[in-house]
């Protein structure tokens, strides 16, 4: 039986606000699972895939090192760049205009209980999406995310970063695909804590800007295929109706 996944585009949203939306959805699902474990009526968990674009912000994963941030807090404030230590996996990365950020909040117990497999599935979604633009996305052994030319030390560069959190097998956080991203922001960090490889974007490689809505369309289709799910695009109001609590966070 295919699982329904509700897709919503949050638009341009400050990172902290998007984090609160994710938390509300994750809490809704984990609370249901706690009640069900106690034999109480709770309803089914609901799967979500959120898209958004953030104003410039650096986010640090729970295993990351602050020394990988090469810009002072004073300079961050001066340049109006946000900074958030987070509870996701991974190290330091950048989010900003021209980047497609995807946040799946899904109950893995309805798919499979394997975080490694989940990350590989997300990588597959990105790899298939990049193929539409003539790009060969690949994995780099031991490094989560999607790369171009990972086996060539002189050419290897990351095009999609990933970092997730899982609570009671409900996921949050996700992936950041560089589409038309200003890559100069990555000069002020050591991206993902990796010293010897660069970053790139679809725009940089193919030489022209890309319609983000078109990227969303490809991502949604491949997510549905890889996760064998029934994807349903919904509005802000429709998502609010799916929440029985914490509606103010949405």
Q: How far lies 55's CA from each of 98, 128, 180, 181, 209, in Å?
A: 10, 27, 14, 11, 19
User: And the tokens for 170?
Assistant: 């409900």
- 192 given a catalytic annotation: yes
User: And the tokens for 28?
Assistant: 């809704």
User: And the tokens for 79?
Assistant: 């340049």
User: And the tokens for 152?
Assistant: 């060539």
Sequence-distant (6+) residues with CB within 8 A of 185 are: 56, 81, 94, 96
Alpha-carbon torsion 244, 89, 60, 222, what sign?
Answer: negative
- 39 vs 34: CA distance, rounded Å: 9
Catalytic entry in 52, 160, 166, 192: 192
In 3D space, the residue among 250, 248, 191, 241 whose CA is nearest the CA of residue 50 turns out to be 250
Residue carrying the six token digits 């949203």: 13
Please check whether residue 42 is in contact with residue 36, taking contact to mean a CB–CB distance below 8 angstroms. yes
Strand-pairing partners, residue 69, are 189
Please check whether residue 245 is in contact with residue 20, taking contact to mean a CB–CB distance below 8 angstroms. no
Please check whether residue 192 is in contact with residue 93, taking contact to mean a CB–CB distance below 8 angstroms. yes
CB atoms within 10 A of CB 150: 19
Would you name the residues annotated as active-site residues? 192
């Amino acid at each position: 039986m295919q699982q329904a996944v509700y897709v919503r585009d949050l638009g341009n949203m400050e990172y902290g606000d998007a984090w609160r939306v994710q938390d509300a959805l994750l809490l809704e699902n984990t609370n249901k699972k706690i009640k069900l474990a106690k034999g109480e009526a709770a309803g089914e968990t609901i799967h979500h895939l959120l898209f958004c674009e953030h104003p410039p912000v650096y986010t640090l994963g729970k295993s990351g090192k602050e020394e990988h941030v090469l810009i002072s807090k004073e300079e961050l404030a001066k340049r109006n760049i946000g900074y958030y230590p987070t509870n996701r996996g991974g190290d330091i990365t950048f989010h900003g205009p021209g980047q497609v950020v995807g946040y799946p909040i899904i109950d893995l117990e309805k798919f499979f209980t394997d975080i490694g497999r989940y990350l590989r599935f997300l990588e597959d979604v990105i790899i298939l999406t990049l193929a539409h633009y003539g790009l060969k996305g690949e994995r780099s052994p031991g490094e989560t995310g999607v790369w171009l030319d990972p086996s060539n030390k002189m050419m290897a560069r990351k095009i999609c970063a990933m970092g997730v959190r899982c609570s009671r097998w409900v996921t949050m956080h996700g992936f950041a695909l560089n589409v038309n991203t200003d890559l100069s922001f990555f000069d002020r960090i050591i991206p993902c804590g990796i010293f010897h490889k660069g970053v790139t974007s679809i725009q940089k490689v193919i030489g022209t800007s890309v319609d983000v809505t078109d990227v969303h369309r490809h991502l949604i289709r491949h997510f549905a295929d890889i996760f064998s799910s029934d994807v349903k695009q919904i509005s802000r109001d429709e998502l609010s109706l799916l929440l029985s609590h914490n509606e103010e966070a949405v």
